[in-house]
Chain A
Amino acid sequence: MKRALFLVPLLVWSSAALAQGGHSSRGFGHRGQRSEWASSPLVPQVLKEAIRHGAHARFYGRRKVHFAHGNVNVDFTEIVYRDGPRTRSEFPDGSRFAGQIIVEDGHVRKEFYPDKNEVIVKEPRHEENLERLVRLARRGADGRIVLTKGPGMKVAGHWTVQIVVQDKDGNPLQRLYVEPKHGMMLKREIFDQGGAKIGYFVFDKINFDPPPFDPSLFRFSRRGVRVITPYDVLRDVASKAGFAPTFLPRSSGYKLEDVRVANRRGEDVLVETYGSRQGRLSLFELKTDVSPDRLHQFERDELHAVTWQAGGKTYVIVGAASSEALANVARSIGYGTP
């Protein structure tokens, strides 16, 4: 009896210690780096201003978005209302997206799809967009990329300053056009590894001093609509395609944003896209095998992958974080529904 009393707490302690394992509090190491990029001479002042003003920008404008997604060429025009963290996007008459409404009130994002009479509730993206610029500044300050200020062009009637983003070998990655007075990025171009422009957005009209916005503009409230989350979409899509509804728990810091089934080489792949302050990642679920060695061949700066098998399925996580950080995220994975 005495021995049992001695054994039980020891066993509980050792099991708890094991369960904690290696994924205790290792993060992505972003804390404490803010001041480094903010004071770095390698980061152009106009980019610092764009980050500083980003959280408080207030405007009304129209922008064109164009990108190649695989073999699909996507282009659309959207009308954007912005008041600090609150945003609203609409689509002009004649657009195939006309009728869709996207609002963010600073806490939640709602996407309304009139054809399905459905609202998908997601995490807001505004802060993530700002974090994306901060990560760019950090990489510039670390010397992993080169940020160069150059002469800009007139965009939507406003003169801009150009920031050229290059890799260490001088290959262009992005060109940003920032209106310096308001610190507003009016145009952004993205290039592939061969230097081809594969995407851009550009404002063709912008008003930096719009009349006061009615707060209801940034809310969406409609009776009779089906309100769902990306996790509901995951359950639906996964069950129809014969996949397990595996997802990263919210505690991992990554929130599910998009779910779809892609077909590659005759094989269905469940694609889950997650957003977080640390950046985005993709979780793939396949019914076939994947070679970890071949995956690692395609890794490079800001592109890493981990893979494992469970329940007869193969899982792959791809993201900008290090392999170790991605492995920690993978260990947090849950099965079933939220």
Chain B
Amino acid sequence: MNENFKNIDEKLNSGPQQMVAHLVSSLPSEEPSMLWRSGLNEALRAQSRKAERRRRFFWVLRPLSLTTACALAALLVVRPMMMPPSLSTPKAHAMVSNGIERDLMDLHQNDMRAFDVGGAGLDPTEAARTSSVTQVSWTDDSEADLEL
């Protein structure tokens, strides 16, 4: 064991080893300057402020985006349930027609004309319901002066 240490000391005291030791000890000392340290601290502080701002921005943005998403979902899901679906898209259920469209328009117009002459009196659609199908014939006896 002592033999080994003796060998190491001999090797360290050898010429080449002494030359390397001399070269290393003669290198200039490079401690970081105060200016460089200050710059680093400033950069770190700026980085930290940016991260904080980003965190705050997302704190507001996340609920906003969530609200917008919910509102969009309501628009797409709830609203179509509330409004007649094809009102905004009249061609949505275009299909083969059997001509009933004209009949519906005629039904409406017949009712309106009947109300026009019926006025506040007998319900004209009720009158039509209880009337038999007859030939339309016109007799205008407005000149008649009937006794009440």
- A and B interact: yes
User: A residues within 8 Å of B by Cβ?
Assistant: 3, 6-7, 10-11, 14-15, 18-19, 21, 60, 62-74, 76, 78-80, 87, 89, 91, 96-97, 100, 102, 104, 109, 111, 124-126, 129, 132, 153-157, 174, 187-188, 190, 197-205, 207, 257-258, 260, 262, 264-265, 267, 269, 271, 273, 275, 280-282, 284, 286, 288-298, 303, 305-310, 315-316, 318-320, 327, 330-331, 333
Asked if B107 is at the interface (CB within 8 A of a chain A CB), the reply is yes
**Number of interchain pairs (Cβ within 8 Å):** 260
Instruction: State A162–B119 Cα separation when bound (angstroms).
Output: 19
Structural contact, A204 and B86, CB atoms closer than 8 A: no
CA distance A292 to B88 in the complex (A): 11
| Interface window among B13-21, B37-45, B97-105 | B97-105
B104 touches A74 (CB 8 A): no
Nearest-neighbour CB distance to chain B for A89, whole angstroms, equals 4
CB nearest neighbor in A for B68 = A14
- Contacting pair A280 B112 (CB below 8 A): yes
A307 contacts B86, CB within 8 Å? yes
A293 and B110 contacting across the interface, CB-CB below 8 Å: no
Residues of B that sit less than 8 Å from A by CB = 59, 62-64, 66-67, 70-71, 74-75, 78-79, 82-87, 90-138, 140-148
- Report A-chain residues with C-beta under 8 Å of the C-beta of B129: 260
Q: Which residues of A contact B94 (CB under 8 A)?
A: 291-293
In the complex where A73-B134, A157-B145, A292-B91 touch, is A298 in contact with B117 (Cβ < 8 A)? no
Cα A80 to Cα B148 in complex, Å, equals 11
Indicate if the CB atoms of B117 and A308 lie closer than 8 Å. no
Q: Are A295 and B101 in contact (CB under 8 A)?
A: yes
A–B pairs, 19, beta carbons within 8 Å:
A7-B66, A10-B64, A15-B71, A67-B117, A73-B131, A73-B135, A74-B131, A129-B119, A132-B116, A198-B113, A269-B107, A280-B111, A291-B94, A307-B90, A309-B85, A309-B93, A330-B83, A330-B84, A331-B82
Closest to A109 in B: B120
Q: Given the complex, which residues of B lie within 8 Å of A132, measured CB to CB? A: 116
Which one, A10, A15, A76, contacts B63 given CB within 8 A? Answer: A10
A124 and B121 alpha carbons, distance in the complex (Å): 11
Q: Output the least CB separation between B131 and chain A (Å).
A: 5
- The answer to whether A153 and B142 have CB atoms under 8 Å apart is yes
Complex Cα–Cα for A61 and B124 (A): 19
Q: Are A18 and B79 touching (Cβ within 8 A)?
A: yes
In angstroms, how far is the closest chain A Cβ from the Cβ of B4? 70
Q: Which residues of A contact B108 (CB under 8 A)?
A: 281-282, 303, 318-319
Residue of A nearest to B118 (CB): A65
B120 x A327 contact (CB < 8 A) = no
Distance in angstroms from B61 CB to nearest chain A CB is: 11
Q: Which residues of B contact A11 (CB under 8 A)?
A: 67, 70-71
CA distance A291 to B123 in the complex (A): 31
B140 touches A202 (CB 8 A): yes
By a CB distance below 8 angstroms, the chain B residues around A273 are 111, 115, 125
Q: How far is the CA of A6 from the CA of B67 in the complex (A)?
A: 10
Extra 13 A-B pairs, beta carbons < 8 Å, given A14-B67, A91-B122, A155-B142: A68-B136, A72-B128, A74-B127, A125-B120, A155-B143, A202-B142, A205-B145, A289-B97, A292-B94, A295-B101, A296-B90, A309-B84, A318-B105
Asked if B142 contacts A310 (CB within 8 A), the reply is no
Are the CB atoms of B63 and A204 closer together than 8 Å?
A: no
What distance in Å separates the Cβ of A251 from its nearest Cβ neighbour in chain B? 14
Tell me the bound Cα distance from A157 to B144 in angstroms: 9
Tell me the bound Cα distance from A291 to B85 in angstroms.
Answer: 14
Say whether A129 contacts B120, CB under 8 Å: yes
Residues A10 and B67 in contact, CB atoms below 8 Å apart: yes
Q: A288–B100 contact, CB under 8 A?
A: yes
Q: How far is the CA of A282 from the CA of B130 in the complex (A)?
A: 20
Measured between beta carbons, the chain B residues less than 8 angstroms from A197 are 138
Contacts of B110 in A (CB 8 A): 68-70
Do B117 and A188 touch (CB < 8 A)? yes
With a cutoff of 8 Å between Cβ atoms, the chain A residues found around residue B121 in the complex are: 63, 65, 78, 80, 87, 89, 102
Q: Establish whether residues A89 and B120, one from each chain, have CB atoms under 8 Å apart when the complex forms.
A: yes
Which of these, B67, B75, B124, B140, contacts A69 with CB under 8 Å?
B124
